[in-house]
Each structure stands twice: as structure tokens, then as C-alpha cells.
Structure 1
């Protein structure tokens, strides 16, 4: 399944080689388990337990935990075994925040993040054209694309199961694709039917050479079916969407790195129900470039687009040029990004206080006769 000896087929390059500590060998993380990772090195696959440095880094920041797609430095042990001694610097990282809804419908969480995939070139946002009687979830697409932009990778939206949409919806697929394109300006949007083989070659074209992609989306979006179509083999188990409610079953239960015949790597992921924003800077602004452009004509430079006079954004909503749903989604993601930033700052301040308490305690202990 994995190419042997030639790590360049998995994306290894001179830049990564320069960051490799002496006395270690390189490997790419293919799958993560508790306290260990399945890695692919030049001499094959190995199960490598985390070294002390990795455990210390992860204890203070979960984002430092090894994840699928990472390049790692392995320290050789006896009997041909390895220890994962260090995670090499990431070129890109798709990070979701630890956000959930509390019993009152508000946001709650710890302000910490989780890396879903690292060193990714392309984020395929897979959204099924239909879930029972529900059409594509534009809000979910906006959220995932914002995180994709923030990761440093290039987002591409795949409207999956496109053949089923035209067969059952009685509406033009082109209209749905236009709605999705309007929700993510500047992002490529493609219809795909992996089961029928439609659009698969187009998806594969994004992975020329040793480029890496991650496929993200809800259960039942056909992610594993798409990965199988790209691989030309049944590398991932698939199941049908339940007929009763149109919801997908969780077939993929872990993230996994899968090299493709002819080049390119894809990371399959379990279905995502809730993805919190994390450490946003430009991601939301890029998704809502249309609102940012309108805002330039608002009377006030700090306009919140709520009830201010001379608001060009509200005027666009009133005229029908900007869907009200779009402004509501912008408001929701802006609030969440601000909340996550406050939570993250509070956590960092708390960690800093704890660190200085330890230092002061040690200093007092040394000063005693």
C-alpha cells in the first residue's frame, strides 16, 4: 500500500531534510493511536511510541500532538524499533477548535485545538448534494472553507452524489452549484459522483506529483467512496446512507494516509458533526469576501452591520443583492472566532501564571538557608 524506500513519493524534500535532527530517520505519520503512531519510513511501516519530548510538548498544547500527515524524526531503538522523537515543522495544518454547544445553546469549550491533518496542499470539502429532503448545508461549507483557508492549504468544494440530486430533487444541479459558489467566492466547486466515476479524474488532477489532500465532510457524504475511486481499489470500507433519515453511518473511524497509484496522497477522515473555529486571522474574511467588499462602502469604518445608518451591507440585504442567510452566517462565525480568541488568550495567560508560580516557588526554595 505504501511505496517503499522512496519517501519523495510521500512528499519528502530537501527542506524537510534540513530540519531533521542528527541521529534520526524521517517518516510520515499514516495513522495515530493513543500514545503511538503508525509511520512510514524508508524501510517500511512501523509502530512508534511517542518520546519524552513529544509527550511534554503535547501536555502543554494538544496541537503539538502528532497527527496524520506529519513528518516525524524517528530515533532508532533496539531490535529494529523506533521512537517518535520529534514532529518536524508543519507546512500547513488544518486545526479545529474545541467548541461545543451548552444546554442553553451558547458556546462552550476549552479554547484548545486539534489538528486533523498536517502538511496538506488541498482540502476537499465534501458536501452531499442531498441529505433526505435537505439540500447542501451552505453554513457548514462556509465554516470548513474558512478553516481550510486558515490552514494554509487550498480549499476545493466537492458536491458529492450529484447524480442522486437530479434524480430525486426535481431541480437543476446547476442552481445548487451556483448557490455553493456564491457561498465560497474564489473557491473551485465541482459536482462529483464517485460511485458512477463522474468527476473523479478532475479531483485526481489536484494531486499531481506528491501533493497531499484531506477529505472533510459529514458522515454519508461519500468520502470513503471517493477515496476508493481515487485509489482504484477498495481501500476504505463504505456503507449506504440510512433510508429512514438520510443520515450517514460512521464508516471511517480514524484518519488515515493513503498514497494513490500514479502519485498523490489523500487523507480520509471520519464524518464531522461539529467543527469549531480556531485561531482565526484571515479565514473568515476570505470566505466572506463579498461582505468585506460591501463593507468598504459603509458610512462607519467600524460598522458592525447590525443597525448602523449608512450600512452598505444591510442595504445589500434589503435590496436582495446579499442573502440574509449570508449575513447571519458571517455574524455567527465572527462571534465564534472572537469567543475562541478570548478563550485561547485566557488559557495562555493561565498557563503563564502557572509557569511563573513554579519559577517563584523554586527561587524561594533556593533562597532558604
Structure 2
């Protein structure tokens, strides 16, 4: 491992010595490691250090439609920003195993997963303290992140503007997130002020990888520029009427920071669909604990007698909007899980059919 690789997040020895890593590395003894720092429709940009990236050619199977019968692989099984790959010349020959991945369900009726970033240590969920502030959306982000092995941190930007309008604005926002961000750190900053942004230093030490997620206009690019100390990312003013911003970030990009950490800025996300792999109970442990106290084990928390959940809502100890969001997310995750199971079954069936087809060809023409 060279200092150049470490500067873009090369993992510690314990991970590199993992059996899956060793197997992939030994299978390509002439290849060299690099990290994906940009992903475009036309291909990838990878880096072997913090200075510059190079365009890399992806393997043929990444370029095919994700039909297993045609030898293609699903998009989430291809490299994403943050992934480590092996290069021979300028051609990617292998994807090294991930230690974490942040995903969401892709837009559209058919089930697909979209990778947001790979090999991440921390996710900054960025939300502006203006009309962008939405506890229910933050809750949804935390559900998507939950179970990924990545630490979430809620970063509230535009604290200076909020305080200028109302002295208690930051405290009010924190109070609104008490139930939503159970055990999750909430940090309020002025994204334009380096001294204020210094509050994020505990998560930005050398070798760490962080991804920023949030809606357009939340201040992700402004925060990135302040952490870099230069105006690298384009920014734009938000509309005063609804605090909506334009997509100033158009693609995901990994950027080395002066602290030695790596930061991935992402375009604003309008749709946050679950993948079906999320654990709802992890983010709604308070509701799950109440449900355990219901008189009936199969209580639907509607009009059943002895329902502890409804009693808590009526007593004001459980926010009705939080419970409604729990039900909505629970149903969405269950629906996505059914689609995922169908897709995995189809994948397994395709493999069996391919194996049978190749056997018939071998029996007829002989193995080559």
C-alpha cells in the first residue's frame, strides 16, 4: 500500500487481508488497485492517488443490459463511486469486495437497485434549516442507511439564517428530530463558515470516506467547498418561495480533503425508494417496543382493544405523523422485499437454464 492510495481511502490491513480481497488480488497479479472517483453513463474515472483521475474502460459484462441470459450483470453489481477496482492498463479487470454500500430503489415500476456510494464509513444527511427542513424525509434517509454498517450523521445547514429569523430555530429543529434521529448525532452548521463546519471534524479524519446525501439546495456543495477550502463545486441560490435548489451537482464524485478524508458529493435526490433490504425495526424501535405491549400479538393498531400504540398516540407520547410514516415505510419495504425475492428467484432460474443449455451444447459438440 502506497501513501497515494491511503490518501484516497485505501482500507487498513485487516480488510486487505480478508480472504475475498486476497483471492481477487491474487487472481490478477499484474493488476494495480484504483478507486472509482466519478461515474458517468459513458464510463468511469478512477484514481491511484489524490492528484488526478484517468478514464477507465469497464468490463464487457458491465456494458450489457442486465439480462443474465445475455451475460450481463445487474447495475448494483457493477462499480460505483467509492469502489475499489483492479486495472490493467486503463481497463478495469475486477471489482474488489465492498465493506459497505448505500443503495436506494431506482425510479420506475420495475425493481432495480441504484448504488449511491460504496466503501463508505459515514453518511452526512444534509438538510437546510429553511423550507427544506423535513423530519419525515430525514427519517426516510435513516431507514435507507440503516443496516448498511455505515454511521449516519444529520447535518443541519443554514443555521446562521435560521437563527437570524428565530433565536430558538436550531433548538426547535433538534427537538423535532428527537424521535426521528434516535441515537444519531445531529450537528447544526453554517456551511459557509470554516469555524462552524469544524464541528464535523470527528468524522473527517485521514482514511475515512464520507458521502453527502440530501435534496437540491440543502447546501451539500457549499459544505464541500468549505471543507476543501476552495470553490471547487458549483453552487446556486435557492428559490425563496420554497427553498428549492437546482441540481448544481450533476454526478457523484469522490474528492480528497485536506484532512486526509474522502468526500463524495451527490446530486439531490427527489425520490427515496427502499430496496427491500432495510430493517424498519432498527429506526422505529420505540414503536416496535409499544407494539410488544399490545393485548393482541397480531394487533394492527387500528381499533383493537388494548392497543398500546394507539394509547400512546392519544396520550401524546407518540407522534401520529411518525406512526403514519412508519406504516407507509413498512408497507413500501415489504413491497420492495417481495419484488427483490422475485428477482432473485428469476436470477437463480436463469442460471439453472444457462447451465442446462451449456451442458446440452457440450454433449452435442464436445467441450472446448
Normalised by the length of structure 2, the TM-score is 0.88
**Post-superposition offset of 1:87:** 1.2
Contact 2:122 2:150 in 1 (8 A): yes
Secondary structure of 2:110's partner? strand
The one of 59, 80, 86 equivalent to 1:51 is: 59
Q: How many residues align?
A: 349
**Post-superposition offset of 1:86:** 1.2
List per-residue Cα deviations over 1:33-80 (Å, max 9, x = no partner): 22521111159522111023555796332111211111111123xxxx
1:354 paired to 2:354: no
List per-residue Cα deviations over 1:295-338 (Å, max 9, x = no partner): 22122334332333222111101111001001001001100000
Distance 1:312 1:15, change over 3 A: same
1:203 matched to which residue of 2?
200
Q: What CA distance in whole angstroms lies between the structure 2 residues aligned with 1:252 and 1:365?
A: 50
1:68 matched to which residue of 2?
81
2:98 matched to which residue of 1?
90
**Post-superposition offset of 1:277:** 0.7
2:13 matched to which residue of 1?
14
Q: What CA distance in whole angstroms lies between the structure 1 residues aligned with 2:164 and 2:198?
A: 23
Q: What CA distance in whole angstroms lies between the structure 1 residues aligned with 2:4 and 2:106?
A: 37
Q: What CA distance in whole angstroms lies between the structure 1 residues aligned with 2:97 and 2:360?
A: 37
2:169 matched to which residue of 1?
172
Secondary structure of 1:351's partner? helix
**Post-superposition offset of 1:183:** 1.2
Distance 1:238 1:24, change over 3 A: same
Contact 1:99 1:277 in 2 (8 A): no
- Greater strand percent: which structure? 1
Which of 351-360 and 5-14 deviates more? 351-360
Contact 2:57 2:91 in 1 (8 A): yes
Normalised by the length of structure 1, the TM-score is 0.87
The one of 41, 45, 52 equivalent to 1:38 is: 45
Contact 2:35 2:83 in 1 (8 A): yes
List per-residue Cα deviations over 1:223-255 (Å, max 9, x = no partner): 000011111111211111023442111100011
Distance 1:249 1:99, change over 3 A: closer
Q: What CA distance in whole angstroms lies between the structure 2 residues aligned with 1:62 and 1:6?
A: 29
**Post-superposition offset of 1:362:** 4.7
List per-residue Cα deviations over 1:164-213 (Å, max 9, x = no partner): 22323575320111111321211001111112345300113211121111
2:229 matched to which residue of 1?
232
**Post-superposition offset of 1:274:** 0.6
**Post-superposition offset of 1:10:** 1.8
Secondary structure of 1:147's partner? helix
Q: What CA distance in whole angstroms lies between the structure 1 residues aligned with 2:107 and 2:313?
A: 29
Contact 1:73 1:88 in 2 (8 A): yes
List per-residue Cα deviations over 1:245-300 (Å, max 9, x = no partner): 42111100011101110211110011111111113243x22221211222221223
List per-residue Cα deviations over 1:317-363 (Å, max 9, x = no partner): 11110010010010011000000001111122223333334444455
The one of 293, 298, 302 equivalent to 2:294 is: 298
